[in-house]
Structure 1
């Protein structure tokens, strides 16, 4: 056992006569004393209250029971160290499950088979012989030790990845305080111990301040992502922005990409989902602005609400952003989008057919026509022309060959299905509660003046009255398209949200999700 330098010499001789405490009692005591300073502390050495190293057994350094040593060094000088458990990592990550298996494992079998992998005072893992000197033997503790280091890659496009090192060939890590020989502190006086402790703390603080100053922003984000990944595996809340939803999205997206890299989405996804949903209305507005980005995030996180919200926006604006969608999302998600687009187009086609068949009747119940009631028929004609103009895209300009042709240029056929974006604007207008939203008084007046014999105040009032009847019937016809499945639409009233003119009536059920519900 390493002696306590701060204990007076007489007290040491007295304490040496007492029986040694049980191994588990020492672990519980050191964990209790250090729990209040769990985070934001140096694990390198020289910051403890005495020169004898206080053994830690809590995240991120499980010095008593950890068997997976993970070292992360970034090109700009950032560092992070973790000593974790294989049984926890393999439950949360397919990467660690595969790489620590018998086929791929490069673990080192400790001498004797039951030594504890503890940290030396310099922050490095001791040799098996050093562990044996401690005399702490427990058959239940790990018998193997795995070691991982972050490989930044060789090219600009390479993704940094943890790789397993052969522990038997790995050189012990060095500390900025020199070799970690614990025997030095056994012969120091209390005064020299206090001075050494203050010096170590000052140098350690200076080292970390300089490191944080020189580490690039990209490397800081990488270290944050790895820390959040391991925190989540140990059921600690990840450190994510809780104020700015845009920054939180960037952090969550980066964390999910890292979790996808290590096959740990099943563990990280629910944490990301829980964090983002706390933003509520601010999140819905962000999804409306960037639906493609949030659709991918919802897919990776397996967030039903985020995925549904983004999918409704994507389908309503189809085919806008189709190229980006195909590049960012797997085929299973694209199949869902295309199925929902087909369903929406079928609903729109049924409504469109009813609108073009819409007509007025006279006092005898007969349909109006140019030979029965010319004025009413003009109202029906103007209404149908407005629908045709607003549900079809503008025709392409004629080509140069058509201009030089002597014959009349051939008129292009209209598309089989107009873009849903343009259709949405038209049907939103038809479903608006304000009848003056289209074909108002001025438009009706200009139209009637095209036939001077028909224009009069009485005819204008009758014309507007019959047009209002058409608008009321059209509003009832398009009502199925005015429903909304968005969380952003307050109360599901179908009211046009500011900035949204496309249809948001797409319904997404559990069977439509790209993962098992």
Structure 2
């Protein structure tokens, strides 16, 4: 990761490091004098006396000019490091002479003048069509005085026309008249304004100034952060811009966690680009819990390293869920002698286990497809049958449909079912459901039998609560309230892909 310059509140340039870099701080006192005496100031965004990289960002009718330092830009951006290197200069100017520093090896008058140095110049190229990505391109270099652009060679002397020439006065009058009717520049579009703001925020971060991002509306802040990170990625500056984005987003606190829960795949990419552990972890837990929702977006927008982490975590989750499901289906009650209940030794208790297993099977399986309307006949009036024997009860039990948890089709069934099983007090297989089920066997139904049935069902629900406890943990930084899927995925240091890149 590159280091960053520190800018003092006075907007002067200060940096820890070699004296050649820190020399810019010696201009602070001079900058104040320049402001008081009318000279051009030496501060962001135009360091007129020390800057050696001129950048013109033109969008619509507006142009932002920056005069910055190559040393700062190269430390913050791989793009500027490569494009201002000697190797780049040799490759792009092959046969045109050495441009690393004008005149150092030349015998010319300029070469012997050490007050002349090289300046790099970039302009924003918007491309030839709307699909092109605007990109800074390097233009022809020029030599300037180290004392500033305005201290270079004086302009050539031009002969002034004689005052008696009437055409001169007519020209001046026409020029004044034309200037008074100069049309105003067309208004700038929101897209161009956003582009200018992105570049301004990029360079502000390079000089350790806070970026201008929305601190009230988190939805607007997300759009701004995403656009700025995309720009930083274009110039290989994520390592510098990412921490600023992370710091800004974390100021939203609980609002941020709620937004991540709503749009986990979008924030997963944002956290990856910003290299934000908190945002990436929060989004990753939501993505794994709701998988495969958002899979297509993730495959298209994120690298394979992120997808591999998700798939590994989903596989681990599936293994744990499979083991716990098996234990749930094997749950049973015991008699007073410690024997597992069966239809032979405790028929009423065995009905408790049967009802629980049927509810579990219905709750962890997707709903069956509905038959075509034309093939659907009238409801049967003989579904109840007779209840004079235990054999006849088996038919009625097969016809019973236990109501699954609410919002069955709105969320992954397994995660929602486990949350229901882990709830306390239990909110499934309630008194009414137990009563309806027991009434299917009239010879067994009584007030005392119903009380025993409910008591044994509570024992079974307590056993199930202990079985699903490993899946009830919440690793989110925010609240899991209202979340139907599992949020127990643990994210460790090795799960942050940028640490291994």
TM-score using structure 1 length: 0.72
Matches within 5 A, 1:10-25: none
When residues 502 and 34 of structure 1 are mapped into structure 2, their CA distance, relative to the original with a 3 A threshold, is: farther
Matches within 5 A, 1:294-373: 294-373=267-346
Write the distance in 2 (CA, Å) between the matches of 1:367 and 1:112.
Answer: 96
Deviation of the 1:55 alpha carbon? 2.4
The answer to whether the 8 Å contact 1:356/1:384 transfers is yes
1:242 aligns with 2:207: no
1:58 aligns with 2:35: no
Deviation of the 1:475 alpha carbon? 0.6
Deviation of the 1:352 alpha carbon? 0.7
Query: Equivalent of 1:147, from 93, 98, 121?
Result: 121
Look up the match of 1:422: 413
Gaps of 5+ in 2: 1-22, 94-98, 144-153, 159-178, 377-408
Matches within 5 A, 1:276-295: 276-295=249-268
Q: What are the superposed Cα offsets for residues 272-330 of structure 1, whole Å, 9 maximum, x if unpaired?
A: 11111111111111111111111101101111111101000000001111111111111
Look up the match of 2:388: none
Deviation of the 1:399 alpha carbon? 8.7
Q: What are the superposed Cα offsets for residues 374-432 of structure 1, whole Å, 9 maximum, x if unpaired?
A: 111111011011111111112345699x99xxxxxxxxxxxxxx999221100000001
Measured on the aligned residues, the alpha-carbon RMSD in Å equals: 3.4
1:439 aligns with 2:429: yes
Deviation of the 1:365 alpha carbon? 0.6
Count of residue pairs brought into register by the alignment: 404
Write the distance in 2 (CA, Å) between the matches of 1:26 and 1:455.
Answer: 95
When residues 381 and 99 of structure 1 are mapped into structure 2, their CA distance, relative to the original with a 3 A threshold, is: same
Deviation of the 1:100 alpha carbon? 1.4
Write the distance in 2 (CA, Å) between the matches of 1:210 and 1:335.
Answer: 55
Write the distance in 2 (CA, Å) between the matches of 1:28 and 1:484.
Answer: 53
SS in 2 for 1:229: helix
When residues 61 and 308 of structure 1 are mapped into structure 2, their CA distance, relative to the original with a 3 A threshold, is: same
Query: Equivalent of 2:137, from 148, 151, 163?
Result: 163
The answer to whether the 8 Å contact 2:435/2:450 transfers is yes
The answer to whether the 8 Å contact 2:411/2:484 transfers is no
Deviation of the 1:72 alpha carbon? 0.9
Deviation of the 1:32 alpha carbon? 2.2
1:474 aligns with 2:464: yes
The answer to whether the 8 Å contact 2:422/2:468 transfers is yes
SS in 2 for 1:239: coil
Query: Equivalent of 1:454, from 444, 450, 455?
Result: 444
Write the distance in 2 (CA, Å) between the matches of 1:456 and 1:227.
Answer: 78
Write the distance in 2 (CA, Å) between the matches of 1:306 and 1:161.
Answer: 29
Q: What are the superposed Cα offsets for residues 99-130 of structure 1, whole Å, 9 maximum, x if unpaired?
A: 1122333696787669xxxxxxxxxxxxx99x
Look up the match of 1:502: 485
When residues 34 and 462 of structure 1 are mapped into structure 2, their CA distance, relative to the original with a 3 A threshold, is: farther
Q: What are the superposed Cα offsets for residues 246-268 of structure 1, whole Å, 9 maximum, x if unpaired?
A: 11111111110000000000110
Gaps of 5+ in 1: 1-22, 36-48, 115-127, 170-179, 185-202, 404-417, 490-495
Look up the match of 2:231: 258
Write the distance in 2 (CA, Å) between the matches of 1:26 and 1:324.
Answer: 52
TM-score using structure 2 length: 0.74
The answer to whether the 8 Å contact 1:110/1:145 transfers is no
1:83 aligns with 2:67: yes
Write the distance in 2 (CA, Å) between the matches of 1:372 and 1:155.
Answer: 82
When residues 355 and 86 of structure 1 are mapped into structure 2, their CA distance, relative to the original with a 3 A threshold, is: same
When residues 427 and 25 of structure 1 are mapped into structure 2, their CA distance, relative to the original with a 3 A threshold, is: closer
Deviation of the 1:225 alpha carbon? 0.6
Look up the match of 1:98: 82
Write the distance in 2 (CA, Å) between the matches of 1:238 and 1:344.
Answer: 40
Write the distance in 2 (CA, Å) between the matches of 1:28 and 1:511.
Answer: 45
**Higher alpha-carbon deviation: 347-356 or 160-169:** 160-169
When residues 62 and 24 of structure 1 are mapped into structure 2, their CA distance, relative to the original with a 3 A threshold, is: closer
